[in-house]
């Protein structure tokens, strides 16, 4: 029996009909290489944001269940079109929704977790010689409710299917793998040949868009090696695995799409309030001012203004901050590096609002307007400098 | 227990966010009138055509299964947005896909027939006091494949649900019921207060857009009275039922979206070829030239050019014809009327390519360019004239 490969294509690789055709050609070539193929797709280009925009016109805080109903259409459109394109090339193909693919999740709308994969229909279609196209980002609960996995959830779909099928996992995007920083921001950013799961998780959680943090966590748990590659070129990409060698500084990433919640409340009370709102924080920080600070990614917060109103009045929303994170081994106790980072931030005029280090990362919370410049400066000092 | 009403809103009533809001207000008012409500929705405005356009860019003849996957997104978008709008007005609402609504169909993609309705989830949600929003036009086969019911299929969804729930059935569109002709074409067209099922079927089959022919057939079989009403006004609409009084000429309708297939082949061979292509004809006519002529509505033919190539070469495609149909009692043997119709057609310069009468209708096949004028002339002679 030939080898099974799960490939995932992101929204920008499927942004229009011409791009969908190109992905179909690529899938066809992979199939001719002798693989059994499952292809997970995201929504075309900006479809998700367009659907979200419609919902926002209807309601400042759309109910999450209905939002999931709405947003899952994006991947369904992609999968049907890609399947048509493949069939047009003479490749037998069939598309399956999350539900038809057997992606069973809990019932947390907008941020569901996969609890089981029952890939019987996929296996049958593969046995019939077909390429299987799967709608990413979505599943179905045991109560037969349509759910979504949160932004970037198509990566999680791909990893979960690879685990269930004993398959390889290839994640395709517009860049050839994982870089030491976002190449659009840092022109000297280097492509990384290999990254360990935990470094990748830190990079993803701190704003690197190339892979979803939950997907990496799932790959780590299930021992699935991820190959991050470019849709457009034949580069070697990046291998994400347990065995990648460590580096002092692997990469620098910044995240501007977040709020910092600040409160003088006892942490237990604050946490209870955040739990009641079903919010998932990225980090909890104790600042110099002895307030509790919570870094809240806004990616899955569909209605920030509704959230602002729902927060207890004692919680201050700091909406002009960003994080810049260095990922690498031992950074949390690398005092030289910590000092250097703080100095660079001061030199850029903003200073550091708070910082937090742990085994694999050092995060600086800074004014949003200086985040990009600090990322560039840190890359220059810690990565470009280290190459010389 | 309060009375249950199934309301169906068409695509033009849901064309944008403002219109969806207006429908939500209307639904809210109905609910406050004390009804338990199930609301069946079509896709917003031109969404179906836009999705079809994407598919056509990918493939001249997109596979029907994938087309169904694609097109069902249209109603899912509408239902989620309408549910959000209702919840925004404080009305508890929940949306269900065709599958979640228990609409079980056969597995004929693009033209599936409903074989069973299992409305358990709808009943439970109604019992919880919610308004249930259902995606029209779609169902699921026993093999768990997503299917569609053909253009206008949302009407069928509404009637099938009304039958399964023992509910009233209200079909809302931009016009206040059924008219003696399309008011955009015939300004003197009169609204009909009551129409019998069989007259309505003839009108719908012959091109009247206000109700779907299959839906009317299902209503007849199940004894469901249909109320056709306007989304925008509080008019009395039209009641479609078994008991409506008959009229000599109930209405005139024309259909320009069709092909006439003409063949000298023995009918059995022609029919076998059409069956193999899964085509459903509206009428089969024997013309003066002793050829078999088949009137083929193009509404559900997603790729006319692909069909043209797939037809046996002996079959001639007449793609410049249209039908004009008079619906009323005894028309097929009303020789005075037949004569009058042929004379009017001759006077308009085109003549009649073929004609066909049966108990309830007389259909003239004419050059497409004269169809509208003939409809006007027939309405003037047979309906406006009869009023004087």
Report the run of H or E that residue A5 belongs to, with start and end.
Answer: strand A4-9
pLDDT of residue B388: 41
Asked whether residue B163 falls in the same domain as residue B32, the answer is yes
Give the one of B55, B85, B144 whose C-beta lies nearest to A84's C-beta. Answer: B55
Of A114, A142, A173, the domain-final residue: A173
How would residue B285 be classed by pLDDT, with cut points 50, 70 and 90?
low
Q: Do A76 and B80 touch (CB under 8 A)?
A: no
Nearest to A54 among B17, B73, B146 (CB): B17
| pLDDT score at A61 | 85
Q: Which residue has the higher pLDDT, B265 or B384?
A: B384
ipTM: 0.74
Q: B31 and B166 share a domain?
A: yes
For residue A59, list chain B residues with Cβ-Cβ distance below 8 A: 84-85, 87-88
Asked if B28 and B122 sit in the same domain, the reply is yes
Write out residues 278-317 of A within 8 Å (CB-CB) of B.
none
State whether residue B17 sits within 8 Å of chain A by CB: yes
| Res B122: pLDDT | 97
A146 reaches B (C-beta below 8 A) = yes
At A387 the pLDDT is 55
Chain B residue closest in CA terms to A55: B81
pLDDT value at position B123? 97
What distance in Å separates residue A146's CA from the closest CA in chain B? 10
Q: Do A17 and B58 touch (CB under 8 A)?
A: yes
Strand partners, A194: A239
> What is the span of the domain harbouring residue B352?
251-387
Chain B CB within 8 Å of residue A73 CB: yes
Mean pLDDT, consecutive 10-residue stretches, chain A (388 aa), reads 89 95 96 94 93 92 93 96 96 96 94 94 97 97 94 94 96 93 93 92 87 90 93 90 84 94 79 81 64 85 87 92 90 80 87 81 91 94 76
| A/B interface, count of CB pairs below 8 Å | 100
The domain boundary, picked from B173, B188, B217, lies at: B173
Tell me whether residue B331 is in a domain. yes
Would B28 be classed as within a structural domain? Answer: yes
pLDDT one-digit tens code per residue, B120-140: 999 999 999 999 999 999 999
How close, in Å, is residue A63 to chain B by CA atoms?
Answer: 6
Per-residue confidence band for B233, with pLDDT thresholds at 50, 70 and 90? confident
How distant is the Cα of A54 from the closest Cα of chain B, in angstroms?
A: 7
- Minimum Cα–Cα distance from A50: chain B residue: B77
The per-residue pLDDT for A331 is 81
Q: How far is CA B41 from CA A218, B52, B74, B85, B210, in A?
A: 39, 19, 10, 13, 15
Q: B158 and B276: one domain?
A: no
Please report, for the domain that includes residue A260, its CATH number: 3.30.2130.10
Q: Which chain B residues have a beta carbon less than 8 Å from that of A121?
A: 144
Report yes or no: B92 at the A interface, CB cutoff 8 Å. no
Q: Which of A339, A341, A240, A256 is nearest to A295 (CA)?
A: A256
Helix (H, G, I), strand (E, B) or coil at A273: helix
Q: Is residue B102 very low, low, confident or very high in pLDDT (cuts 50, 70, 90)?
A: very high
Does residue A234 fall inside a structural domain? no
A58 in a domain, yes or no? yes
> Which residue of chain A comes nearest to B15, CA vs CA?
A54
What value does the mean pLDDT of chain B take? 90
Q: Cβ contacts (< 8 Å) between B63 and chain A: which residues?
A: 83-84, 87
Contact B58/A97, CB-based, under 8 Å? Answer: no
| Long-range pairs, B341-350, Cβ under 8 A, ≥24 | B341/B378, B344/B374, B344/B377, B344/B378, B344/B381, B345/B370, B345/B374, B347/B377, B348/B373, B348/B374, B348/B377, B350/B374
A12 plus A120 within the same structural domain: yes
Q: What is the pLDDT of residue B288?
A: 43
How many Cβ atoms from other residues are within 10 Å of residue A366's Cβ? 25
Residue of B359 and B361 predicted with greater confidence: B361
Instruction: Please report which confidence band the pLDDT of residue B38 belongs to, taking 50, 70 and 90 as the band edges.
Output: very high
Chain A, window 42-61: residues with a beta carbon less than 8 angstroms from a chain B beta carbon: 51, 54-55, 57-59
The answer, for B322 touching chain A at a CB cutoff of 8 Å, is: no
Output the pLDDT for position B235. Answer: 85
Mean pLDDT of B130-153: 94
Cβ <8 Å between A95 and B66: yes
Residue A18 lies in a domain: yes
Domain count, chain A: 2
Distance CA B307, CA B97 (A): 31
CA distance A304 to chain B (A): 17
**Which one, of B354, B346, B347, B348, lies nearest residue B370 by Cα?**
B348
A121, A148, A173 - which closes a domain: A173
- Do A158 and A261 belong to one domain? no
Residue A273: predicted pLDDT: 83
Calpha distance A72→A370 (Å, rounded): 36
Q: Which residues pair with B194 in a beta bridge?
A: B239
Min Cα separation B175/chain A (Å): 25
Contacts of A65 in chain B (CB under 8 A): 94
Closest CA–CA distance from residue A99 to any residue of chain B (Å): 10
Task: Compute CA A92 distance to the chain's CA centroid, rounded to the nearest angstrom.
Answer: 31
If asked whether residues B14 and B126 sit together in one domain, one would say yes
Q: Are residues B135 and B265 in the same domain?
A: no
Q: CA–CA separation, A257 vs A260, rounded Å?
A: 10
Pick from A77, A84, A76, A96: which is nearest to A21 by CA?
A: A84
Q: Sort out which chain A residues have CB atoms less than 8 A from B100's CB and list them.
A: 144
Contacts of B272 (CB under 8 A, 6+ apart): none
Q: Sort strands A316-318 and A258-263 into parallel, antiparallel or unpaired.
A: antiparallel
> A20, A41, A47, A70: which to substitute to probe chain B, counting the most B Cβ within 10 Å?
A70
Choose among B59, B76, B121: nearest Cβ to A69: B76
A132, A35: one domain = yes
The DSSP output letter for B179 is B
Contact residues on chain A for B20, CB-CB shorter than 8 A? 58
Closest CB to A77: pick one of B63, B73, B97: B73
Coil, helix or strand at residue B246: coil
A69 contact B CB<8A: yes
Q: What is the pLDDT of residues B73-93, one digit of tens each?
A: 999 999 999 999 999 999 999
Mean pLDDT of B169-178: 93
Residue A265 neighbours by CB distance under 10 Å: 16
- CB contact under 8 Å between A77 and B51, yes or no, is yes
Average pLDDT, integer, range B192-211: 89
B233 domain residue, yes or no: no
Tell me whether residues A17 and B100 touch, CB distance under 8 A. Answer: no
Q: Are B50 and B11 in contact (CB under 8 A)?
A: no
In a domain, A215, yes or no: no
pLDDT at residue B332 is higher than 80: no
Whether A179 is in a domain gets the answer no
A87 touches chain B (CB under 8 A): yes
CATH code: domain of residue B140: 3.40.1160.10
Q: Give the pLDDT confidence of B262-282 residue by residue, as tens digits.
A: 888 777 777 788 888 878 778
Beta strands across the sheet bearing A258-263: A283-286, A292-297, A258-263, A316-318
Tell me: do A169 and A305 sit in the same domain.
no
Q: What is the pTM of this model?
A: 0.81
Would an 8 Å CB–CB cutoff place A190 in contact with chain B?
no
B100: nearest CB among A57, A77, A144: A144
CB contact under 8 A, A84 and B67: yes
Kindly state the helix (H) or strand (E) to which residue A363 belongs, with its residue range: strand A361-367
């Amino acid at each position: 029996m030939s080898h099974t490969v799960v490939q995932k294509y992101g929204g920008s690789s499927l942004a229009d009909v011409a791009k969908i055709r190109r992905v179909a050609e690529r899938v066809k070539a992979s199939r001719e290489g002798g693989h059994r193929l499952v292809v997970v797709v995201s929504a075309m280009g900006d479809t998700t944001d367009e659907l979200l925009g419609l919902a926002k016109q209807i309601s400042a805080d759309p109910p999450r269940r209905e939002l999931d109903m709405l947003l899952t259409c994006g991947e369904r459109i992609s999968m049907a079109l890609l399947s048509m394109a493949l069939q047009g090339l003479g490749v037998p193909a069939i598309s399956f929704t999350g539900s038809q693919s057997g992606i069973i999740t809990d019932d947390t709308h907008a941020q569901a977790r996969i609890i089981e994969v029952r890939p019987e229909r996929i296996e049958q279609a593969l046995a019939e010689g077909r390429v299987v196209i799967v709608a990413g980002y979505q599943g179905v609960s045991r109560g037969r409710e349509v759910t979504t996995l949160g932004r970037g959830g198509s990566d999680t779909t791909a990893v979960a299917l690879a685990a269930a099928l004993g398959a390889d996992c290839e994640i395709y995007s517009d860049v050839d793998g994982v870089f030491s920083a976002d190449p659009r921001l840092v022109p000297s950013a280097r492509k990384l040949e290999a990254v360990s799961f935990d470094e990748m998780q830190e990079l993803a959680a701190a704003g690197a868009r190339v892979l979803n943090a939950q997907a990496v966590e799932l790959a780590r748990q299930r021992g699935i090696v991820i190959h991050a590659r470019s849709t457009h070129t034949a580069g070697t990409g990046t291998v994400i695995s347990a065995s990648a060698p460590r580096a002092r500084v692997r990469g620098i990433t910044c995240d501007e799409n977040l709020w910092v919640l600040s409160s003088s409340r006892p942490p237990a009370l604050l946490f209870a309030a955040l739990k009641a709102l079903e919010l998932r924080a990225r980090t909890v920080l104790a600042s110099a001012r002895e307030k509790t600070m919570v870094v809240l990614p806004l990616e899955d917060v569909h209605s920030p203004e509704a959230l602002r109103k729902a927060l207890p009045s004692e919680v201050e929303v700091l909406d002009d901050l960003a994080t810049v994170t260095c990922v690498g081994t031992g950074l949390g106790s690398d005092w030289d590096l910590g000092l250097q980072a703080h100095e660079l931030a001061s030199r850029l005029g903003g200073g550091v609002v708070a910082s937090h280090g742990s085994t694999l990362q050092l995060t600086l919370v800074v004014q949003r307007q200086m985040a990009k410049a600090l990322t560039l400066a840190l890359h220059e000092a810690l990565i470009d400098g280290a190459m010389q």
